[in-house]
Amino acid sequence: MNADSEAPRADTPTQHDQHGRWPQAASVEDFRRNLAAVRERIAAACRRAGRDPAGVRLLPVSKTVDEARIRLAYQAGCRFLGENKLQEAARKWEAMSDLADLKWSIIGHLQTNKAKLVARFAAEFQALDSPRVAEALDRRLQAEGRALDVFVQVNTSGEASKYGLHPDDVQDFLRQMRAYSALRVRGLMTLALFSAEAERVRRCFVLLRTLRDRLRQDAPAGIGLDELSMGMSGDYEIAIEEGATVVRVGQAIFGARSTPDAYYWPTADPQPAS
Ligand SMILES: *Cc1c(COP(=O)(O)O)cnc(C)c1O
């Protein structure tokens, strides 16, 4: 593939125009095709950015998808799935415990009183943004005798409706994390502005990367900042151009959701703001 044939990176559009239109995957073949299409776009974004595609993990997001379709995705090769709501994830984990190598990543906001459940079954938690949750999680994990990979969620869009720490508060937060030996901090996570204007979306990703680069210079011992979880169906290509190591992709793999985004991040616009 000739790098010159790729669009200049700054012009990469969002795919938000697909929002609500992604076709439903209803067979193993559908899933294979969707996964291949997303991987091809990941590879193309990596070429534009001069990156190795092996440095980008695709995390399929299966929220609202029922067990039967998740089993099809499993047959198509999915072994690690992201879920926003803990209760829904726990239900699926129990229902599909026969799939011994299927792992679950919790990517949505967590209440302190649910820490015990996360500690029991989650393989990863990507939405850590409060010392109280960190403390509760660590205590529960110590009791279970296990450790958990976590990402610190940062609010890069400045929208009050988004969860995550203010960028200025991340450094102090990371220092506090040293006390919690069962939490293995792997990096930062964010949700970009939901906008059809690619440049405004890109700014969120640039903010997360530059914050990570700055913090990594004097990160506390034991705090890893190699990972950047950013990008979803509508904007993962831009996120990869800006350094994403994990992209969380739901609708482009599973199909459009009927549940509005406002259910997951309160007061989000139903349509992309422009
Ligand atoms: C649902 C969700 C995603 C994936 O969104 P899609 O539009 O389905 O790709 C990514 N991150 C978080 C936190 C989510 O809740």
User: pTM for the full model?
Assistant: 0.93
Residues of the chain with pLDDT below 70 are 1-10, 266-274
- Which atom number of ligand 1 is nearest to the Cα of residue 63? 1
Name every protein residue with a CB atom under 6 angstroms from any ligand 1 atom.
61, 63, 84, 107-108, 191, 232-234, 248-252, 264
DSSP readout, the chain? --GGGSPPGGGPPP-GGGTTTPPPP-SHHHHHHHHHHHHHHHHHHHHHHT--GGG-EEEEB-TT--HHHHHHHHHTT--EEEES-HHHHHHHHHHTTTSTT-EEEE-S---GGGHHHHHHH-SEEEEE--HHHHHHHHHHHHHHT--EEEEEEB--S--TTS-SB-GGGHHHHHHHHTT-TTEEEEEEE-----BS-HHHHHHHHHHHHHHHHHHHTTPPTT----EEE---TTTHHHHHHTT-SEEEE-HHHH---SS-GGGTSTT--SS-B-
- Indicate the domain borders of the chain: 33-263
- Give the model confidence (pLDDT) of 148-170 as tens digits: 999 999 999 998 777 999 999 99
- Give the model confidence (pLDDT) of 112-152 as tens digits: 999 999 999 999 999 999 999 999 999 999 999 999 999 99
Q: How far apart are CA 176 and CA 138, in angstroms?
A: 12
Position 4 scores a pLDDT of 44
Give distance in angstroms: CA of 143 to centre of ligand 1.
31
C-alpha torsion sign, points 81, 85, 88, 91: positive
Nearest C-alpha neighbor of 186 from the set 241, 222, 149? 149
Q: How far apart are CA 255 and CA 243, in angstroms?
A: 26
CATH of domain 33-263: 3.20.20.10
Position 260 scores a pLDDT of 76
Position 229 scores a pLDDT of 98
Q: How far apart are CA 226 and CA 211, in angstroms?
A: 12
Give distance in angstroms: CA of 225 to centre of ligand 1.
22
Helix 28-49 vs helix 67-75: crossing angle, to nearest 10? 60
Tell me the best of 107, 190, 237 to mutate to test the pocket of ligand 1, counting ligand atoms within 8 Å of each CB and taking the most: 107
